Every structure is written in structure tokens, then in C-alpha cells.
Amino acid sequence: MTLADIMLYPGRASELVLQDDLGDDAAARTQLLLTMLGRVGEMRDSIRRGLASTAPSRTGMVGWNAKTLHDAPDALDAPLLKRVQAYAMAVNEENARMGRIVAAPTAGSAGTVPGALIGVADHLGRDDSELVMPLVLAAGIGQVISKSMFIAGSTGGCQAEIGSSAAMAAAAVTELLGGSARACVHAAAQALMNTIGLVCDPVGGYVEVPCVSRNAFYAVHAVAAAQLALAGVESFIPPDEVVYAMAAVGRMLPPELRETGEGGLADTPTGRRVALKMAR
């Protein structure tokens, strides 16, 4: 299945993902939907734990940011923005504390999908049962991307990891808000094309800085992509070509910018200091 296949589907995009994966096997469908509802619950649980904790990660670089934002006054009077950011960081701070999260598609990018999807759902008062099919679509988009390119920072840079999670989240939010299959895929493409070039440069090699705040930024990015697509704004570059372009850029990235902790933010004086301290 390609993104074009999903885009041209006349029904709900997530239906095609289910059909492609399981055909008409009713029992398997029921089981998968139950599993997905469970995943929503696990995502929600990691958000709850993350928002309640200020315990630092093992390196001491992160652990209190989600609660800090959650408890702060809403300076912009933009509750959706604040909620999406706080939820995304909550999940990734839980990940940094070795708490249980749903890798979507990876642990490093685990905050983007729940931040965007559950953040929007809570903002609009939607029930968890309404998130199941959008999550199926998110998984389907991740599957399509992973077939033609990489979804790990170690192979394709952060554009592959957070870029994929942002694409998955954008499609899911679009479907939750009633978007067509075409709109869902264009939301994913918009999210993906605007992460191209994003490098993977975790300080000390730990999935904490910039990863925690990066999830907050790209969860908002995913919501923005959904808003564009729902309004009818489409990606000029066909969605599958966006995926290939990102794969090509990933192959051009030097090893220093692919999760080795040797380039970018990891190669700053502070980044090197953290790496030295943790190596002792």
C-alpha cells in the first residue's frame, strides 16, 4: 500500500488500513480495535504520570518540564497549544525516566501522537473510543513510511523519527476531525515535508535533549498540518514523493547527525560536558 492508495480511497482512510492488514477477518478486526483502545489507555496513562511528576531523569537534564508547563498560567490564552505541548512532553519525560510508554513509532518520538491526538480530543471533549480508528490510521501511515524509508534517528536522522510521528499524528487528527482520506494523507505529507533535514543530535546520546521539547514542537506541528489539510490546503509534492525525498536526505546525513551523540547539540561544550559526566 502507498500513500496514494490511501489518498484515493473513497471511504474513511483508517478503513483501508484495516482492510489492507486484516481483510474481512471480523475476529481479527475486533481484537485489533480492542488492542488499539488499550494503546489509547496506555498513552493516556503515560500523560497522566508525566504531568504529575517532577522526578529528574538519570542524567538530570529533564523530568519537570511537562508539569512546569501544565501548571503555568496560559500566557497566550491558547489552551489547545498548551495542552498539546504538555501532553507530548509528559510522555517523553516518562520515557526518559524509563516509564512505560507506547512507542509511536519509536520511544524517542512517543509523545507526538498522544500529544496531538489526545490533546485535541480532550480540548474538544471527545471520547477515547473515537480515537481508535484515527490511531489505526496513524499506525498505517507509519507502516507505509517504514516500508520505503527508515523511522529511526540512527538511520535517517530525526526527520525519520519525529517526522514520521508528526505525519502519523497529523493524519490521525485529521481523521478525528472528519477529514477525508485525501485530507488525512495531505496532512501527513505536510507534516513530513516540513521536517526534512531535521538531524538527530541527542545530548550525551540520551533521548532527552532535544527530544523532550522536540516532541512538544512537532505535536503542535502535526495539529497545524491537520488544520491546513482540513481547510483544503494540499502538499504540492505528491505524498509518496515526499517520503522518498526524506529517505534521500536521510542517506545524505553524516553519521554524526544520526543518533551517535557526536554532532549538533551533542557537540556543544555543554553537550560534551554531559557526555563526559555520564561516562564517569
Residues that bind ligand SF4 in the complex, under the rule CB under 6 A: 108-109, 153, 158, 161-162, 200-202, 207, 210-211, 214, 259
* Gap between the Cα atoms of 111 and 86, Å rounded: 10
| CB closest to ligand SF4, residue no | 153
User: How many C-beta atoms lie closer than 10 Å to residue 240's C-beta?
Assistant: 18
The smaller minimum CB distance to ligand SF4, of residues 70 and 214, is found at 214
The smaller minimum CB distance to ligand SF4, of residues 19 and 155, is found at 155
The smaller minimum CB distance to ligand SF4, of residues 14 and 106, is found at 106
Local structure of residue 200 (DSSP, 8 states): B
The residue type at 104: A
Kindly state the smallest distance separating residue 279's Cβ from ligand SF4, in Å.
Answer: 18
Kindly state the smallest distance separating residue 227's Cβ from ligand SF4, in Å.
Answer: 24
Kindly state the smallest distance separating residue 167's Cβ from ligand SF4, in Å.
Answer: 14
Kindly state the smallest distance separating residue 134's Cβ from ligand SF4, in Å.
Answer: 22
Element containing residue 27 per DSSP (H, E): helix 26-52
Place of cell 553537550: 271
Place of cell 538527530: 200
The smaller minimum CB distance to ligand SF4, of residues 94 and 161, is found at 161
CB 232, CB 182: distance < 8 Å: no
Give Cβ neighbours of residue 81 (< 8 Å, ≥ 6 apart).
Answer: 220
The smaller minimum CB distance to ligand SF4, of residues 134 and 205, is found at 205
At residue 258, the 3 state secondary structure works out as: strand
Kindly state the smallest distance separating residue 264's Cβ from ligand SF4, in Å.
Answer: 8
CA 123 to chain centre: 18
Kindly state the smallest distance separating residue 210's Cβ from ligand SF4, in Å.
Answer: 6
Q: What share of the chain is helix, strand, coil (3-state, %, to 5)?
A: 70, 0, 30
The smaller minimum CB distance to ligand SF4, of residues 134 and 261, is found at 261
Of the candidates 91, 78, 92, the residue with the CA atom closest to the CA atom of residue 123: 78
Kindly state the smallest distance separating residue 34's Cβ from ligand SF4, in Å.
Answer: 30
The smaller minimum CB distance to ligand SF4, of residues 18 and 158, is found at 158
Grid cell in block for residue 95: 520515557
